[in-house]
Amino acid sequence: MICAVIGGVLALVPFLLFLTKPALEIQAGAFSESFGAAASTRSRSFTAGFLVVIRLLMLFILYRAVRHRRLASPDAPVTRALVVMAAALATLSAFHLMVAAVQFVRPEYQVSEMVTANMNAGLSALLLACLILGGDRLHPSRAADGERLRRRDRNSQLWIALACALPPIALLIKMIHARAESGADLVSAALLSLPTTAIALWAVHRMQRHRRMPFRLLIAGFGWGAAVAVGYGMALPVLYNSLSDQLLGFNRFVAIIDGVKVPVFEELAKGVGVLLIAVVARRWVTDLVSGLVVGASVGLGFNFLESMLYMSAPGTGGAVYQHWLRQVVGIMLMHVAFSALVGAAIGAARQTRNPGTRLVVIGCGLLSAICGHYLYNSLISLLPLMFRVSEPVFAMVVLPFLVLLLLSPLLVMYLVLLRRGLRYQSTALAIELRHEANSGHDAVTVAELPVLLNPARRFRTLVDAFLRGGPLAYRRLSRLYQAQLDLGMCHWHQARQDPDGAEVDFTRLRRQIQEFKTDDEIRTGGGR
């Protein structure tokens, strides 16, 4: 533990340097400049080559550690999270390696401040992960029981996963800091966007008409979209631009790729967040509806932070215009629609057994999101040129019409998927809850089925409980209904034999339902 703490402090030094003192950022040739010598071509080439070797070595160490943990405990949620996060860091590090390789071959190649900060954050993340691994290996085990060892290993995996998320978050912090120093009013933009985003997140949560996943999972998806996905969405295009300028120059192919790169990188970054929640919370992300809801929450987080940046940036039409476009007209379209399609594809893939079919399903959802994103970005800047109207008419009439015109196919797609997924859930719950009611257990009775299977009747019953017993009675009855619906959904997953479904203790679930039923303040549709 001591080694891990010391290593973490040391690894954070370059991270704090490039955040607080941009002039001291580590660049190729900075080592020689610090001694007062001119940065020579040979020293820059040597530094770039040295950093390439160091990155490759640390990536190899991280790969071996992640592979060892995946083979040792493949079903542990923290292990699955570590695999996803390490893969994301490895992808970002591959771009860093290519930039460093170009610096090695072409010592005169100068990178921008944003690329340098990005590479420093990636190097810090790799160093921090390796130092955590080293501290974990060197720390003497004082535990005789296996539970403490497993807990320590789980904690180290969690810290490594968090270290892998350092580069995009660091880049985002740096951009927000630079924007604040330039005089942008980010606080007002955030406060103005918060109410509409909160209402939209509540609406996304209410899309689940039957069993609802814990709200903390939606908060986690929102946080990924707002912090990590935006960071990756900024980092990868910047790195690509730096490489393409040196290796490809400018031609027709590069011009086409320039239009596609932002949708590709942003949708991949958001899709990784949905996949991460799906592999960690396997018990809750199991089908079309749950995957779609998680994807929509990730899109809301991305849209929230992007709205802040656009509202506070000069030359974007002003804060009011951007708020109207992104937080009112397009809040449930744009990124929510794109990410909802990816999430629905990941949820649908959970129900298939063939790995090839899974990849095809996820690929189709990702391709749909990328194409929709690309078409919207391309046409939303061209179509307004066809309308010669006053600015208020354009903002209030023409702009909403164009947004709906361009994004209505994606809106229809994810609403149709949501409706179909809810129908599947309703049919499955009717079968499984009826079997549970006839099984002899008292968790679900036949008299309760009409209320459980009808969302409208459940809502009216909950309102009656609120009027009779106040918020406490409403909450307890709501928890009872959710536990009963959760039991039915778990039966459904077991009946269809999900290939990687989570283990569920049905005895504990039934006992929990009985505890809810014994409360005197609960009155269900069965007359208790």
pLDDT at 14 > cutoff 60: no
Per residue in 451-500, pLDDT (tens digit) is 888 888 888 988 988 888 888 888 888 888 888 888 888 888 888 776 66
| Residues 94-134 pLDDT 10s | 888 888 888 777 777 777 777 888 888 888 888 888 777 77
pLDDT (0 to 100) of residue 334 = 86
Question: What is the Cα–Cα distance from 96 to 83, expressed in whole angstroms?
Answer: 20
**Residue 31: its pLDDT value, please?**
37
Angle between helices 166-181 and 186-206 (to 10 degrees): 140
Q: Considering only residues 297 and 145, tell me which one the structure prediction assigns the higher pLDDT.
A: 297
Whether the pLDDT of residue 36 is over 70: the answer is: no
Mean pLDDT lowest among 233-242, 290-299, 478-487: 233-242
Q: What is the DSSP string of 140-162?
A: PP---SHHHHHHHHHHHHHHHHH
Gyration radius from the chain CA atoms: 26
- Rounded to the nearest angstrom, the gap between the alpha carbon of residue 33 and the centroid of all alpha carbons in its chain is 40
Report, as an integer, the average pLDDT of 397-411: 84
pLDDT tens readout for residues 150-167: 677 777 777 778 888 888
DSSP conformational letter for 22:
G
Reported as a single tens digit per residue, the pLDDT across 240-256 is 888 777 666 666 666 66
pLDDT at 274: 92
* DSSP for 413-463, written as a single string: HHHHHHHHHHHHHHHHHHHHHHHHHTSS-SSS-GGGHHHHT-HHHHHHHHH
Residue 302 pLDDT: 94
What pLDDT, on the 0 to 100 scale, is given for residue 195?
Answer: 92
pTM greater than 0.95 (yes/no) = no
The pLDDT value given to residue 53: 82
Choose between 67 and 358: higher pLDDT: 358
pLDDT digits (tens, 9 = 90+) for 505-517: 788 888 888 888 8
* Of the candidates 126, 211, 173, the residue with the CA atom closest to the CA atom of residue 428: 211
pLDDT digits (tens, 9 = 90+) for 411-432: 888 889 999 999 988 988 888 8
- In this prediction, residue 29 carries a pLDDT of 41
More confident residue, 430 or 52: 430
Q: Which range among 113-117, 168-172, 211-215, 218-222 shows the weakest confidence by mean pLDDT?
A: 113-117
The full DSSP string for 294-309 is: HHHHHHHHHHHHHHHH
Average pLDDT on 40-66 reads 75
- Classify burial at 164, counting beta carbons within 10 Å of its beta carbon; exposed 0-12, middle 13-18, buried 19 or more: buried
pLDDT at 226 over 70: yes
Q: Is the pLDDT of residue 392 over 80?
A: no
Q: Give the mean pLDDT of the chain.
A: 79
pLDDT (0 to 100) of residue 70 = 67
Does residue 259 or residue 526 have the better pLDDT? Answer: 259
Query: 74: part of which helix (H) or strand (E)?
Result: none
